[in-house]
């Protein structure tokens, strides 16, 4: 089963709207006509509308880095699915390890957000991955299985098509320490097998699993060249148009 790769930029808490516009103006010509992969940008919430307008007419897509599960309400500082859609965005990250680590996002919260995203026709990129201590204790497989089981609870096979998973080993994020292709492939196989157990092999073999964690132009082709790795979620190296374009063209 061939899966179209998704190469995604997670800008985290970087870039004003003016800086985001500058990026898009430099980036679009570098990827014009690129059709092998899907490309998505995840700017901060204050730059989202600007980015949606800037990429209009291109194949580049835009999404939020985080979305609340509630339809609306007294949730100071949060953004709803309808707000995301109203500005013309199509995607959202869910459960990034920084959200889990600093904002107490649990598998249960991730699951509620996933249900909301699917209900609204938003493409969810569900992030998971083990921390260093878990890897060193030999717990990687059990951690990944628990995260997937929690994230996909109550999701049926016929709802699952839009879901994208991003495997991001926490020890590889922002550290310059990348998982080897073999480590990433092994983790992706564990995740895919768990998806198959829950939703069947057809759903599992169609679902895209991205790798994230210190992806750079220099290591993109060895990771993305693996059949099991269906794209990348890129932090630091996505902040400059030329380096992110180089990853897109791996």
- Mask: binding to ligand 13P, 212-241, rule CB under 6 A, as x and -? xxxx-----------------xxxxx----
DSSP string, 55-66: HTTSS-EEEES-
Residue closer to ligand 13P, measured from CB, 8 or 52: 8
Indicate the burial class of 78 (C-beta count within 10 angstroms; 0-12, 13-18, 19 or more). Answer: middle
Residue closer to ligand 13P, measured from CB, 172 or 203: 172
Q: CA-CA distance, 212 to 229, in Å (whole number)? A: 10
* Candidate list 38, 105, 130, 168, residue with the active-site label: 168
Instruction: Give the range of 108-116, 136-144, 155-163, 211-219 binding ligand 13P by CB under 6 A.
Output: 211-219
Q: Are the C-beta atoms of residues 158 and 202 closer than 8 Å to each other?
A: no
CA–chain centroid gap for 111, Å, is 15
Token pair recorded at residue 145: 């299985």
CA–chain centroid gap for 179, Å, is 17
Q: CA-CA distance, 89 to 41, in Å (whole number)? A: 10
CB of 170 to ligand 13P, least distance (A): 9
* Candidate list 68, 96, 98, 188, residue with the active-site label: 96
Q: Binders of ligand 13P: how many residues, by CB under 6 A?
A: 14
* Residue 108 is a catalytic residue: no
Residues 86-145 that bind ligand 13P (CB under 6 A): 96
Q: Are the C-beta atoms of residues 123 and 141 closer than 8 Å to each other?
A: no
CB of 17 to ligand 13P, least distance (A): 21
Pair type for strands 38-42 and 208-212: unpaired
Asked whether position 164 contacts ligand 13P by CB under 6 A, the answer is no
Helices and strands (DSSP H and E) totals, the chain: 11, 8
* Residue 168 is a catalytic residue: yes
User: Which of 5, 10, 80, 210: binder of ligand 13P (CB under 6 A)?
Assistant: 10
The phi, psi pair for 16, rounded to 5°, reads -80, 170
Instruction: Give the range of 31-39, 80-88, 193-201, 208-216 binding ligand 13P by CB under 6 A.
Output: 208-216
Could you tell me the sign of the dihedral formed by the alpha carbons of 82, 84, 86, 89, in that order?
A: negative
Residue closer to ligand 13P, measured from CB, 89 or 215: 215
Instruction: Give the range of 16-24, 26-34, 151-159, 166-174 binding ligand 13P by CB under 6 A.
Output: 166-174
Residue nearest to ligand 13P (CB): 235
Binding interface with ligand 13P (CB under 6 A): 10, 96, 168, 173-174, 212-215, 233-237
Enzyme catalytic residues:
96, 168
């Amino acid at each position: 089963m061939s899966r179209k790769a998704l190469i995604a930029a997670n800008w985290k808490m970087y870039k004003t709207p003016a800086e985001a516009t500058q990026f898009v103006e430099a980036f679009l010509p570098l990827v014009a006509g690129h059709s092998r992969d899907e490309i998505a940008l995840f700017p901060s919430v204050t730059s989202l509308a600007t980015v949606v307008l800037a990429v209009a007419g291109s194949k580049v897509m835009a999404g939020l880095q985080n979305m609340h599960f509630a339809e609306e309400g007294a949730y100071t500082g949060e953004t709803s699915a309808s707000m995301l859609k109203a500005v013309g965005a199509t995607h959202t990250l869910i459960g990034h390890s920084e959200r889990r680590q600093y904002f107490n996002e649990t598998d249960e919260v991730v699951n509620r957000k996933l249900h909301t995203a699917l209900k609204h026709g938003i493409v969810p990129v569900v992030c998971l991955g083990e921390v260093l201590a878990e890897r060193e204790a030999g717990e990687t497989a059990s951690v990944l299985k628990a995260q997937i089981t929690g994230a996909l609870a109550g999701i049926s096979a016929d709802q699952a098509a839009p879901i994208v998973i991003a495997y991001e080993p926490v020890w590889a994020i922002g550290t310059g320490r990348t998982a080897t292709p073999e480590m990433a492939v092994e983790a992706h196989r564990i995740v895919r097998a768990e998806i198959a157990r829950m939703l069947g092999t057809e759903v599992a073999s169609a679902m895209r699993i991205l790798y994230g964690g210190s992806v750079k132009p220099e290591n993109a082709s060895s990771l993305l060249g693996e059949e099991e790795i269906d794209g990348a979620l890129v932090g630091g190296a996505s902040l400059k148009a030329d380096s992110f374009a180089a990853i897109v063209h791996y």
